[in-house]
Structure 1
Amino acid sequence: MADPSTYRPAPGTIPDKPGVYRFYDKNGRVIYVGKAKSLRSRLSSYFQDIAALHTRTRTMVLTGARVDWTVVDTEVEALQLEYSWIKEFDPRFNVRYRDDKSYPSLAVTLNEEYPRLQVMRGPKKKGVRYFGPFAHAWAIRETLDLLTRVFPARTCSAGVFKRHGQMGRPCLLGYLDKCSAPCIGRVSAEEHRAIVLDFCDFMAGKSDAIEKRLRKAMLQASSAMEFERAARLRDDLGALAKATEKNAIVLPDGTDCDVVAFAQDELEAAVQVFHVRGGRVRGRRGWVIDKVEDVTDAELVEQYLLQVYDADQESTSGVPRTILVPHLPPDLDAMQRRLGELRGGPVEIRVPQRGPKRDLMQTVGRNAEEAFTQHRLKRAGDLTARSQALAQLQEALGLDEAPLRIECIDVSHVQGTNVVASLVVFEDGLPRKSEYRRFTIRDAVREDGESVGVDQVRAGEGTDDTRSIAEVVARRFRRYLEERERPPSVDDESGRPKKFAYPPNLLVVDGGAPQAQAAGAALTELGINDVAVIGLAKRLEEVWLPGDDEPYILPRNSEAMYLLQRVRDEAHRFAITFHRQKRGKAMLASQLDGIKGLGEARKQALLRKFGSVRSLRNASVDDLREVDGIGAATAQAIHDALAPSRDDPVAVDPLTGEVIQSAADSTEPQPASHAPTPHEEPR
C-alpha cells in the first residue's frame, strides 16, 4: 500500500476547472476514472485524513501511486471523456454496470426485402427495429406464437427461406397460416412489409386501430354469411387480447420511458430498470454494483445514466424520450444534452410525483429491494458455502468449534413505545423457524433491581436498546438454566430438545459495542461463559466483541459476512412484524381509554371484532352494538369519542396510514432513538 502523501499534487497545481482525472497504481494501470466540476476541490478531497474516507475510497487511494487530469471546456465533454476512459481502461474501482447475461430483444429486420421477426441478442444493428429487452427468450417466442396467426410474417432464417423458395412449397408455418409464405410468392414483398409494419404498430402500443379493423372485418364477414372467415377473425381478436394481457398496459398515455430505482447500503447498490414502450412494460434489467466512493443518491443516478445509455453509441433506440429516476442527477442539464445527442432528439429526466408513473416507480423500487435481498442471500442454500461461512466465523472469532447454532436478537420500537424484541435461530447456516421467539419488553429497570445490568443503567452507561437487549438475554438464558435442570423434553418429530433446552454457540445482537457489552454482561451475571457474543453494527457491518475498543471487519464478500447479514436481517424482519401487530392493538386500546362504561373485557371484545382504529372509527352505532356486552349507550359513547371534528385535520400514522387522533389533540413527535421517517421501517 502506498502512502497518499507521496503522490499528492503540490498545492496550487490543480486547476479550478471542470475535467476528468485518473488514478494509477504502481504498475501504471488506471484504477479509477472520475469527473468533476472543479478538479481542485474534488482531488483535494481524496488526500484528507485517510480515516475519514469511505472504505472503498480509502482502499483506492492507498492502492494508487499517482494521479493526473485533463481539463475540458464543458460538463458534457467531461461526461463523454469519462465514459470513453472507463470503457478503454476498465478501472477496477469504478462502478460497473454489467449483467450476468445478455438480455434478448424482439427484432424486426426492416433492412431486408422480406423482414423477419426473430430473437436477437448483442449489439444493435442499423435498420433493425427492436422491442424489449425481455427477461427470457421464451417470452418472446410465446408472444410470437400468439401474434403470427394475426400478423403472419416471416420468422425463418435466410437459409430456410431460400431453400423453400427453391422447393416451391412453404414450411409448416405456411401450411398452418402462421406465415404468409413470401418465399413462394403467396404475397408480394410490399404486402409482406405491410403485415410486418402492422405488427410493429401493435408492439408499439397502437393496438386499438388494428382491433377495430379486425372487428369490423369480422362483422362484415358475418353479415355476408362467411362464417368460417368470421370465426377466424374472432380467433385473431382473441389472440390479440391474450397478447395484450401478457404485456399489461401500465401507463394509460402510451408513454415510452425507462423507470429506474435503487436499493442500497453503504457499500453496494441494486439497480432495477423497467423498459416501458407504448405504455407497456416490455422488459426489465438489473445489476448489483459496488460503491467505491461515498456517493449520494443523485450521483448514483448520474453514474447509471452515463454508463448504461452511453454504452450503446451505435444505436439511438436504446435511449427513450423520458427517463424516470428517484433523484435528479447533479448535472441535470449536461446529462440531458448528452443523452439527447445519443438519441438524436430531446430527452427528459425527471422524478415522478403522482399518478401511475409514481406507482410504477414504487413497483420498480420493490423489485430493486428484492433483487438486493436475493443478492445477499444467494449463497444461503449452498451447503459448501454454508460450511465455509461457519468455518470462517470460527476462525475470525477464535471459537473452539464452528457455530452450528446461531441466535440473533433485535429490538424494535417507535420513539421508545411498544418496545418488542425478536430472537431467531439458525442451525447449520439455515433458519429454524419453529424456534423463533418474540418478546414484549418490560420496564427497563424493575423496582427490585433484578434486571441484568442495573448498575450500568443507573450509572447512565446504558441506552434503551442496551437495557432491552439485557432483558431479553436474561429471560432467554434464565429459561435455558431452568430447563437444563428438568428432565429432557424432546420433540417427537426431530428428536431434538424443545424450546430453549440448549444454548447457542454464537449469540448475535443487532448493534455495536454498547449492545454487545450489554449482552455479555447479562450472560456473565447468569454465570454463563461458554456462549460467544458479538454485535453486528449496520453502518459498515462491523463486528464488535464485548469489551473490545475496536471492531473486527470481516471481508465484505466473505461467506461469513453473508451469513451474519442474513441472520441479522431475519431478526429485523421478525421483530418488525411483531411490532406492527402490537402497535396496532396498542393504538386501538389507547383510543378507548377513558370512555365511560368501557372496561378491559369490552375493549378486548372490540379489538377482536374490529382490529384497527380505522375500522372502529368507520363503524356505526349499530355495528358497535353487535359486539357482546356493548349496549346502546356505550356504543353511542364510543362513536362520539372516536369521531373527529369535521373541521379538524387528523394526524396519520406514517407507517400504517391509520388515523391516530385529531390534530387538535396531537403533538409534534420529538426526536428519539430509531424514530422512523415516513419512508423508514421501525427499528
Structure 2
Amino acid sequence: MRQERIETQLNMLPALPGVYLFKDIQDTVIYVGKAVNLTNRVRSYFNPPSSDADQATSFKLQRMVPLIHDIDFIITDTEQKALILENTLIKKYNPKYNVRLKDGKTYPYLKIDVQNDWPTVRVTRSYIEDGSRYFGPFASASLLRKTIKTIKRIFPFRSCHKTLLTGKPSVPCLQYHMHRCLGPCSGNVTVEEYADVIKQVILFLEGKQEIVLRELKGKMKAASQNLHYEKAALYRDQIEAVENIIEGQKNAAVVKGEQDVIAFAQNNDIAYFEIFFIRNNKITGRDFIVLDGVKDEDEGKVMTAFIKLYYSSSPAIPPNILLQYPIDEPDIITKWLSKLRESYVTISVPHRGAKKQLMDMVVENARQGFELYQLKKSMSLETMDTLTNLRELLSLKDMPTRIEGYDISTIQGTYSVGSMVVFRNGVPTPQEYRRFKIKTVQGLDDFSMLQEVVRRRFEKYLTHDKKWNTPPELILIDGGKGQLHAVREVLEDLNINAIPVIGLAKEREEVFVPGNSKPLSIPQTSKALHLLERVRDEAHRFAIGYHRSLRHRGTTLSKLDEVPGIGPKRKKALLKALGSVSNIREASIDDLAKVEGMNEKLARTIKESL
C-alpha cells in the first residue's frame, strides 16, 4: 500500500526546479530538500546506492526513507528561489533529518530603528525588513548586551522607551546628567545632531572605527575653537574609548579587507561553528552557532547547510567569505549571496599564506570552543544524573531542583541562630540564603530551635511573601531521627505535607526519612549522597558564621548596650577614644566626660553600670 502510493507520487513529480517535503505517517514533515530536477532528485532516495560515497550517505537515508509516508513538492522558477524556499521551510517545520539550528533557537539581533526621528538601539529576535538597521545574529543575548554596553559607554544615544513628542519637552533622566544621553526628551538636541550620533554607532558596528575617530577629532577641535570646552571634553573621552578598542584589535590585522572566516568542529550529531568577522583589516567580532542533525553528513554538506541557514537571516553579508571546507553547489550559493548583498560575493577555501594562517586560528578556536561547550553540557548532564539518582533513592515525586538545608548553631543556649541555604540544580545560590536569630527558645534545645526556624520560614511562605514564596522540592535537616521528627511536627501543624523532609546525621553520614527508624542504605561513593553532604555542610558553615558574628559583637559591646543613655553614636565615640570596654571601665569620670557626645552625668552612669 505504502509502496504503491510512493510510486504514484514519484510519477507525478515534474522535471523542474523546486522544493520537496517528506512526511511520516503522522503527516509530520521529517525532511525538506531542494532540486534542479524534482523527478531525478526525489527518485534518488528510493534507488540503491551506486558507489561507496553514496553508501556512506545512505546511513542517514536508511533511517529516514522507511519513515516516508507521503511526498509533497513546490515548483519554483529557478534553483536559487528553491534554495530560499528550502531555508524558509526548514525554519518553519524544523524537520528531524535536516541539519538545523541547535534546539531550533532564534538568535538575537541588534536593531537600530533609523526610520524614526529619535532611533533607539535594541535587542530583538525578529529580523523584519522594516527599514531598520540590523546587526547579528549573535550567539547569545548576553554577548549582545556586552556589545550594547560597549557602544553605550562611547556614544550618548537614548536607551529609554519614552514616546518623544515634538514641542513637548520633559525633564531629562539621570542618563542625560551623566552625559550618556543627549536628552532628546528635553529638547536639548536637534534631530540632525542626534542622527549624527546614530551614524557613528552604525559606523562603529560596521568596523569603521577609524572613520568614527576622524569625525570625533574634528568635532573636538571645532568645539574647542568655539570655547565649548565641556563638549570638547566629552568628545575627548569618546576618542580615548575608541582608540582603546582599536589598540586591542591591532593584532588581528593579518588579512586585509572585509570578510567572514568560518570553521567548525563536529562530534556525532553536533557541529559547533566559529565565525570571525573581519572589517577594515581587523577582527571586529566573533560568534558561535551550534547545529544538530549532522550525523553521517560529510564536511561539505554540513558547511553548505550552515551557510544557507546563517546567511538567510543575516543582515550583513561581507564581500568575501573564507571557509574551512568547500561547499556543495558553490555557483548557486554565490549567486544567492550576491543577490542578498546586492554586489558580488566570493567564497573560497584558503590553502596557503596569511589567509590559511587566519583559518588555522579560527579552526583552533572552533576546536577549543566545542570542547568548552561539551564540557558545560556534560556538567549539566552530570548534575541531572545526580538529581535523578537522588530522586530515585528518596522516592520523591518531583525532581529535587531546589533543596533547602537547615542547621542550628549555639553555645550552651547563647547567641543561638539558625540557617537556611538553597541549592538550585545542585548549585548553591547564596542570594537566597536566610539566617534566623532564635527568639522563642531559652537554653539548649536544638529540636525547639529547629522548629522555630522552620515555622518562621514556612509561615512566611503561606502568607505569599515574595521573598519566601518558592517552596523546595526537598528539605534537608542537619541531624537524625529526633531533629527530623521535630520538623515534621511543625510542617504537619502548618498543613504542609507535600514537601519531603530528610535528616542527614554527621557521625556516619546516615540519611533518615519519615516513617523509617533505620537509615537508608546509600553507598558512601554515591554522588547523590555527596550532594546532600554539600548542602548540609553549607548550612552548617552559614550558621556558624552568623553565630560567631553575634558572639563577637556581644562579647565586645554587650556591657555598653546595657548602659542607659548610650546609643550607637556614643558607643562608637567611646570605643574610638578609649579602644575597648576594659579601658572604658578603668577610665576616670573626667576622661569619659571629655569624649565627644558625653557629659559628666553620663560618665557617672557608665562608671556605675560597669
Residues of 1 paired with 2:142 and 2:9: CA distance? 59
Q: Which residue of 2 aligns with 1:156?
A: 160
Q: Which residue of 1 aligns with 2:306?
A: 304
Q: Which residue of 1 aligns with 2:179?
A: 177
| 2:82 maps to which of 70, 78, 81 | 78
Residues of 2 paired with 1:95 and 1:30: CA distance? 14
Residues of 1 paired with 2:371 and 2:334: CA distance? 32
Do the aligned partners of residues 110 and 379 (structure 1) sit closer, same or farther apart at CA in structure 2, a change above 3 Å counting?
Answer: same
Residues of 1 paired with 2:95 and 2:104: CA distance? 19
Do the aligned partners of residues 245 and 8 (structure 1) sit closer, same or farther apart at CA in structure 2, a change above 3 Å counting?
Answer: farther
Residues of 2 paired with 1:84 and 1:19: CA distance? 13
Q: Which residue of 1 aligns with 2:442?
A: none
**How far 1:149 moved relative to its partner?**
6.2
Q: Structure 2 counterpart of 1:126, which letter? A: D
Q: Identical aligned pairs, as a percentage? A: 30
Q: Which residue of 2 aligns with 1:206?
A: 208
Q: Which residue of 2 aligns with 1:637?
A: none
Q: Report if the CA contact (8 A) 2:138-2:287 is conserved.
A: yes
Please say if 1:291 is aligned against 2:294: yes
**How far 1:386 moved relative to its partner?**
4.8
Q: Which residue of 1 aligns with 2:335?
A: 337
Residues of 1 paired with 2:184 and 2:10: CA distance? 73
Number of residue pairs matched?
A: 383
Do the aligned partners of residues 385 and 55 (structure 1) sit closer, same or farther apart at CA in structure 2, a change above 3 Å counting?
Answer: farther
Residues of 1 paired with 2:233 and 2:34: CA distance? 63
Do the aligned partners of residues 276 and 131 (structure 1) sit closer, same or farther apart at CA in structure 2, a change above 3 Å counting?
Answer: farther
**How far 1:168 moved relative to its partner?**
3.5
Q: What does residue range 190-201 of structure 1 map to in structure 2 within 5 Å?
A: 190-201=192-203
Q: Structure 2 counterpart of 1:325, which letter? A: L
| Richer in helix (by share) | 2
Please say if 1:347 is aligned against 2:337: no
Q: Report if the CA contact (8 A) 2:32-2:98 is conserved.
A: yes
Q: What does residue range 143-542 of structure 1 map to in structure 2 within 5 Å?
A: 144=148, 147-148=151-152, 151-159=155-163, 161=164, 166=168, 168-215=170-217, 231-244=233-246, 250-251=252-253, 255-265=257-267, 267-278=269-280, 279-291=282-294, 294-310=296-312, 312=313, 317-374=315-372, 376-377=374-375, 378-380=377-379, 382-383=381-382, 385-386=384-385
Q: Structure 2 counterpart of 1:191, which letter? A: E
Q: Report if the CA contact (8 A) 1:33-1:82 is conserved.
A: yes
**How far 1:100 moved relative to its partner?**
6.7
TM-score calculated relative to the size of structure 1: 0.47
SS in 2 for 1:258: strand
Q: Structure 1 counterpart of 2:28, which letter? A: R
**How far 1:369 moved relative to its partner?**
2.4
**How far 1:111 moved relative to its partner?**
0.8
SS in 2 for 1:170: coil
| 1:115-155 Cα distance to aligned partner (Å, 9 max, x none) | 22333333245222233444555555555555556532222
**How far 1:106 moved relative to its partner?**
3.2
Q: Structure 1 counterpart of 2:86, which letter? A: E
Residues of 2 paired with 1:151 and 1:376: CA distance? 37
| 1:635-665 Cα distance to aligned partner (Å, 9 max, x none) | xxxxxxxxxxxxxxxxxxxxxxxxxxxxxxx
Q: Report if the CA contact (8 A) 1:326-1:351 is conserved.
A: yes
**How far 1:332 moved relative to its partner?**
1.4
Residues of 2 paired with 1:360 and 1:14: CA distance? 46
Do the aligned partners of residues 245 and 169 (structure 1) sit closer, same or farther apart at CA in structure 2, a change above 3 Å counting?
Answer: farther
| 1:461-485 Cα distance to aligned partner (Å, 9 max, x none) | xxxxxxxxxxxxxxxxxxxxxxxxx
Q: Report if the CA contact (8 A) 2:270-2:290 is conserved.
A: no
Residues of 2 paired with 1:238 and 1:342: CA distance? 36
Q: Report if the CA contact (8 A) 1:4-1:47 is conserved.
A: no
Residues of 1 paired with 2:12 and 2:190: CA distance? 70
**How far 1:46 moved relative to its partner?**
3.9
Do the aligned partners of residues 209 and 329 (structure 1) sit closer, same or farther apart at CA in structure 2, a change above 3 Å counting?
Answer: closer
| 1:197-244 Cα distance to aligned partner (Å, 9 max, x none) | 133223323332443454466578889998766655443322222344
Do the aligned partners of residues 87 and 334 (structure 1) sit closer, same or farther apart at CA in structure 2, a change above 3 Å counting?
Answer: same
Residues of 1 paired with 2:57 and 2:219: CA distance? 70
Please say if 1:60 is aligned against 2:73: no
For the pair shown, the structure with the greater C-alpha radius of gyration is 2
Q: Which moved more, 1:243-252 or 1:368-377?
A: 243-252
Q: Report if the CA contact (8 A) 2:207-2:284 is conserved.
A: no
Do the aligned partners of residues 158 and 362 (structure 1) sit closer, same or farther apart at CA in structure 2, a change above 3 Å counting?
Answer: farther
| 1:283-328 Cα distance to aligned partner (Å, 9 max, x none) | 4131131226x43322222222223333x3xxx7243333322233
Do the aligned partners of residues 52 and 7 (structure 1) sit closer, same or farther apart at CA in structure 2, a change above 3 Å counting?
Answer: farther
Q: Report if the CA contact (8 A) 2:264-2:274 is conserved.
A: yes
TM-score calculated relative to the size of structure 2: 0.53
Do the aligned partners of residues 169 and 375 (structure 1) sit closer, same or farther apart at CA in structure 2, a change above 3 Å counting?
Answer: closer
**How far 1:157 moved relative to its partner?**
1.4
| 1:496-525 Cα distance to aligned partner (Å, 9 max, x none) | xxxxxxxxxxxxxxxxxxxxxxxxxxxxxx
Q: Which residue of 2 aligns with 1:32?
A: 31
Q: Report if the CA contact (8 A) 1:23-1:33 is conserved.
A: yes
Do the aligned partners of residues 52 and 363 (structure 1) sit closer, same or farther apart at CA in structure 2, a change above 3 Å counting?
Answer: closer
Q: Which residue of 1 aligns with 2:402?
A: none
Residues of 1 paired with 2:348 and 2:161: CA distance? 42
Q: Report if the CA contact (8 A) 1:106-1:132 is conserved.
A: yes
Q: Structure 2 counterpart of 1:345, which letter? A: S
Q: For structure 2, which runs of at least 5 residues remain unmatched after alignment?
A: 391-610
Q: Structure 2 counterpart of 1:333, which letter? A: D
Do the aligned partners of residues 32 and 142 (structure 1) sit closer, same or farther apart at CA in structure 2, a change above 3 Å counting?
Answer: closer
**How far 1:94 moved relative to its partner?**
1.5
Q: Which residue of 1 aligns with 2:480?
A: none
Residues of 2 paired with 1:53 and 1:131: CA distance? 36
SS in 2 for 1:338: helix
Residues of 1 paired with 2:99 and 2:234: CA distance? 53
| 1:557-576 Cα distance to aligned partner (Å, 9 max, x none) | xxxxxxxxxxxxxxxxxxxx
Residues of 1 paired with 2:27 and 2:144: CA distance? 46
SS in 1 for 2:362: helix
Q: Which residue of 2 aligns with 1:107?
A: 111
Do the aligned partners of residues 136 and 298 (structure 1) sit closer, same or farther apart at CA in structure 2, a change above 3 Å counting?
Answer: closer
Residues of 1 paired with 2:264 and 2:172: CA distance? 50
Q: Report if the CA contact (8 A) 2:18-2:73 is conserved.
A: yes
Residues of 1 paired with 2:155 and 2:169: CA distance? 24
Q: Structure 2 counterpart of 1:352, which letter? A: P
Q: Structure 1 counterpart of 2:40, which letter? A: R
Q: Which residue of 2 aligns with 1:397?
A: none
Q: Which residue of 2 aligns with 1:489?
A: none
| 1:397-428 Cα distance to aligned partner (Å, 9 max, x none) | xxxxxxxxxxxxxxxxxxxxxxxxxxxxxxxx
Q: Report if the CA contact (8 A) 1:218-1:230 is conserved.
A: yes
